[in-house]
Structure 1
Amino acid sequence: MRVLINAFACSPYRGSEAAVGWNIPRELAHLHEVTVLCGDLRAERPNWTDLTSYGLDRVPFRVAYVAPTRFISLLERLHRLPGCWILYYAAYNLWQRRAYRKARELQAEKPFDVVHQLNMIGYREPGYLWKLAVPFVWGPVGGAPNAPGAFLRLFTGTGRLKVGLRTLLNEVQKRLCLRARRAAKRARKIWAVTAADEEMIRSVWGRACTRMLEVGTDSTLPGTVHHLAPGEVLRIVWSGVHTSRKALPVLLHALARLPKGVVHVDILGEGPETVAWQKLAHRLGVEGALAWIGKKPRNEALDKMREAHVLACPSIKEASSVVVIEALSLGLPVVCHDACGMGTLVTETCGVKIPLRDPETSIAGFADALRRLLNRPEQVAALSRGALERAKGLTWAAKAAEISRGYEESAEGLKSADNADGHGRGAGYPCNPCKSVDKIVREKSADNADGHGKGAGYPCNPCQSVDKIDREKSADDADGHGRGTGYPCNPCKSVDKMESADNTDRHG
């Protein structure tokens, strides 16, 4: 089966969205003929750099790279200015339009059987692949949950404003993002990351969906059982971009409630909240228990995780978090909130989950969880064994197999729908073939009344003069479409009608 996947972020070296965009197509390439649309917004082109560094000849799928324009890169740079973060979404949308144009070119060269919108996983930007006359699948889809308002007091002024505004926009976009609704309506299969995402898709968009975590375990990571000796310092690792929703202050406040000298925390990553968090650590008197490691290459970050006894992940708005899945693969127990994708990933056999209600509940919960591990060090080894066992059922290969079944169901569903009318969908039928045949039958009756039979090369009214047909062909060619043997109607009119109904700007 020929599959086109829109995976904007795709890298063999990085985590998060880039890991999703790399690992799922990599596993699907064992099952299908896969082409991946990927790209960048930044002028430095990190995704392209990673792929070429890895070696395009080693990549198991076809790479269709879509480069950013100078304007897109300019918007990406400007979004880093205070209050301009929304420009990122403008840049990303422009890239998606370019990706759609590339997809149309690829589809014209050799049609695909299924197209898949993979990442970024947020529902706000569904891309434009759903406008192609090909079975469309979408997901895993995330982004519906909101950060609880009670946590705003833990954020800095900028972080509080950003999270509050994002929450407001999230509720508006869920209901008013018409393009996302249209994409969902056209999708033959939708996967949702969390219970909140599933609820949005079912209740707001009125579509059925299936739950699926977007991350998978890496079977190449050598996991081991971690042990904590009695009286040994509990080594904790925290990893992520330093933004408000990652909620590191929850852990810092929890550390302040523990005796000094019993824990050590390695903090990986960097971001806009780094300085504010360092100042908070100083005010709480816990800076001596912390090591600010900074942003490191993935291999170095994994090495630092291997040195730890437990991963602390206090995020309050997350999908499933690649760092959590990596921790499980390494045999590292996880302390996290019982929310988002983490609430599904982590079980009582491999970690400790804290209810996500308010800051006091979270701070007390994290402090109690760490205190219990210190008082019962044998629990670290027990949870570590559980983490390794849990990781076995969450592999990328298993996830790809499930997605592949979705592809087959979508393609089979299209075939069944066509056959219900007695017509199979041929490669050249971009429109509904049943409507085309009905029109032909009606025109054939009118033609026969004039004494004309339907010519094999003229699926539309053959009474039209050859000059008129030539003029229509010229009009088609002016739009970049020749009249192919499989186009029973004017393909430009078909595409124009489809696109104008979906988007008056005719993106692509």
Structure 2
Amino acid sequence: MKILVNCYACSPYKGSEPGMGWNFVKGLSKYHELYILTESKFKEDLDRYFETNPDEKSNKHFFFIIKNRHKTLRKIWPPSYYWFYNQWQKKALKLAKELDAKYNFDLVHQLNMVGYREPGYLYKLNKPFVWGPMGGFNITPWKLLPSMGVKGMVFYGMRNIINSWQMKHSVRVAEAVNESDSIITATEDDHNTLLKLWNKDNIVIPEVGFQTSTKHLTESRVGKLKICWSGLHIPRKSLNLLLEAMARLKNPDNVELHIIGEGECTRKWKYLSKKLRLKNITWHGWVEKTEAMGIMSECDVFVITSLSDATSTVLLEALSMGLPVVATNHLGFANVITDACGIKIDLKNHKQVIRDFAFAIEKLEGDEKYRQKLSLGALERAKDFSWESKIDLIDKIYQNVIEKHKS
């Protein structure tokens, strides 16, 4: 089929939304001819990739649209991002109409960004329309907001309020939901919210995946328990929760922490680690993905402390390496992690979260047979989230939507 894909973020070299977009279009192009609308800043990455991989350009036709930016305004008021993103979506609709007149698309797919609050306008083309994976309905736990610091508490507190209003009163979101022939949600929470608000059936397909297993953990651990944490150093990632948990360990000298990433909270978190007199911490900063994967592969456990995320790519990468995962029992993490591959930490209050993270680390450090069992469980769980399985599911959705329109 000829399919128009709104893939705002798309890069073979990046993670998060750009990596997610790339992996979906790469997989879907094996079945269909894709016409892909992408933000112009990703053109350099895509051109570089196709120079060395010309055979992979088959069935992928990229059209680049410039998005205006105002960096100063973004720093003052981060949600201003959506004003310019909305303008980009309007440009996408204009170009989509021109392309449809030329190619007559069989189906339109609103792929990313994942956040529900900007559904784009391509549902107005009056074509079979698929939206997703979409989500972002989550409310950050109110009791944990103070742990994010003043800035984080204010920002995510306001986000909770605005989010609660938007999901119930956004006319265009409701319109896009009603016009969609099929909606894919990123988590069970998003699935349930969509049913509750609009009584719209939908299928859950997490927005992240992995290509192949990179299994490395088969023998027993020797020496310290090596923990890996990776992500942007911003309030919602809440690395401070892990640092505070490390300070509670009975045998802190038996644990080693490797931290990947940087951001606005780096200085504050480094100061906190010194204040807590933590040892055996390596701050790797920003590193290339291959180096980051190498650091992870040398570790024994992966920890996620995020209080506001859908499902992270790095979670599935960790599982594919056989790393047991200790994570917040929240959003996409709650869906992916089971008792067979990791430990989930409930989010009741700050003290409880710190205590339970510390207990989980001590359990994994002190019981190597248990850690090995979770390691094997992680490898098995990762198989459920391969890109291949996701692409097959979406292709079936496409076929069902087309059959529905024919009938």
TM-score, normalising length: structure 2: 0.95
Distance 1:95 1:362 in 2: 40
Deviation at 1:227, TM superposition (A): 4.4
Give the TM-score of the pair, scaled to structure 1.
0.77
Structure (1 or 2) with the greater helix fraction: 2
**2:181 paired residue among 174, 185, 188:** 188
**How much does 1:344 deviate?**
1.3
Residue of 244, 251, 263 corresponding to 1:271: 263
Larger Rg: 1
Is the contact between residue 140 and residue 213 of structure 1 (CA under 8 Å) also seen in structure 2? yes
Alignment match, 2:18: 18
Is 1:78 the counterpart of 2:72 in the alignment?
A: yes
CA distance in 1, matches of 2:120, 2:162: 19
Q: Deviations over 1:315-345 (max 9, x none)?
A: 1111111110111112211111222111111
Q: 1:105 aligns with which of 98, 102, 105?
A: 98
Q: Is the 8 A contact 2:8 2:113 kept in 1?
A: yes
CA displacement, residues 424-483 of structure 1 (integer Å, 9 cap, x when unaligned) = xxxxxxxxxxxxxxxxxxxxxxxxxxxxxxxxxxxxxxxxxxxxxxxxxxxxxxxxxxxx
Q: For the residues of structure 2 that align with 1:125 and 1:50, how far apart are their CA atoms? A: 25
Q: Distance in 1 between matches of 2:206 and 2:245?
A: 29
Determine if the alignment matches structure 1 residue 200 to structure 2 residue 198: no
* Aligned mates of 1:177, 1:137 — CA distance in 2: 19
Question: Is the contact made by 1:246 and 1:315 (CA closer than 8 Å) also made in structure 2?
Answer: yes
2-side partners of 1:277 and 1:60: how far apart?
46
Aligned residue number for residue 503 of structure 1:
none
> Quick one: distance in 2 between partners of 1:337 and 1:228?
26
Q: Which residue of 2 aligns with 1:151?
A: 144
2:21 equivalent to 1:30: no
SS of corresponding position for 2:299 = coil
How big is the shift at 1:295? 1.4
Matched, 1:5 2:2: no
Distance 1:199 1:115 in 2: 24
Q: What is aligned with 2:351? A: 360
Unaligned 5+ residue runs, structure 1?
A: 417-508
CA RMSD in angstroms comes to: 1.6
- Give the whole-Å Cα distance in 2 for the aligned partners of 1:240 and 1:61: 33
Instruction: Name the CA shift for 1:159/1:193 in 2 (closer, same or farther; >3 Å).
Output: same
User: Structure 1: which 4+ aligned runs deviate by more than 4 Å?
Assistant: none
* TM-superposition CA deviations, 1:353-400 (whole Å, max 9, x none): 111222222211111111011111222222111111111221111101
The Cα of 1:127 is off from its aligned counterpart by 0.8
Helix, strand or coil at the partner of 2:227? strand
Q: 1:227 to 1:102 in 2, by over 3 A?
A: farther
Equivalents in 2 of 1:54, 1:64: separation in Å?
13
Deviation at 1:226, TM superposition (A): 5.2
Gaps of 5+ in 2: none
The residue aligned with 2:341 is: 350
Correspondence for 1:174: 167
Q: CA 1:175/1:415 → structure 2, altered by over 3 Å: closer, same or farther?
A: same
Q: Is the 8 A contact 1:174 1:200 kept in 2?
A: no
- Amino acid corresponding to residue 150 of structure 1 in structure 2: K
Which residue pairs with 2:46 in the alignment? 51
User: Which whole-Å CA distance do the structure 2 matches of 1:61 and 1:79 have between them?
Assistant: 39
Q: Give secondary structure in 1 for the equivalent of 2:344.
A: strand
Q: How far is the alpha carbon of 1:184 from its aligned partner?
A: 0.5
Q: In structure 2, the residue corresponding to 1:349 is in which secondary structure?
A: coil
- Alpha-carbon shift at residue 132 of structure 1 (Å): 0.5
- Tell me what 2:221 maps to: 229
Alignment of 1:262-411 (within 5 A): 262-286=254-278, 288-411=279-402
Contact 1:226 1:332 in 2 (8 A): no
2:62 corresponds in structure 1 to: 64
Which amino acid letter does the alignment assign opposite residue 290 of structure 2?
A: N
After superposition, give the CA deviation of every residue in 1:218-257 in whole Å (9 maximum; x if it has no partner). 21x5222254536x11111111111211111111111001
Q: Is 1:246 the counterpart of 2:237 in the alignment?
A: yes
| One-letter identity of the residue aligned with 2:287 | K
- Aligned to 2:109, the other structure's residue is in SS state strand
Conserved in 2, the CA contact under 8 Å of 1:256 and 1:284?
yes
State the secondary structure of the residue aligned to 1:217.
coil
Q: For the Cα contact (< 8 Å) 1:350–1:390, is it kept in 2? A: yes
Q: Are the counterparts in 1 of residues 144 and 347 from structure 2 also a CA contact under 8 Å?
A: no
- CA–CA distance in structure 2, aligned partners of residues 79 and 19 of structure 1: 27
Which has the higher mean CA deviation after the structures are superposed, 323-332 or 191-200?
A: 191-200
Distance 1:88 1:248 in 2: 25
Task: Say whether the 8 Å CA contact 2:328–2:345 is kept in structure 1.
Answer: yes
Amino acid at match of 2:44: T
In the TM superposition, what are the counterparts of 1:112-131 in structure 2 within 5 Å? 112-131=105-124
Would the aligned equivalents of 2:227 and 2:256 in 1 still touch at CA under 8 Å? yes
* Contact persistence 1:9–1:120 (CA under 8 A): yes
CA contact (8 A) 1:218 1:326 kept: no
Q: Distance between the aligned counterparts of 2:4 and 2:344, measured in 1? A: 38
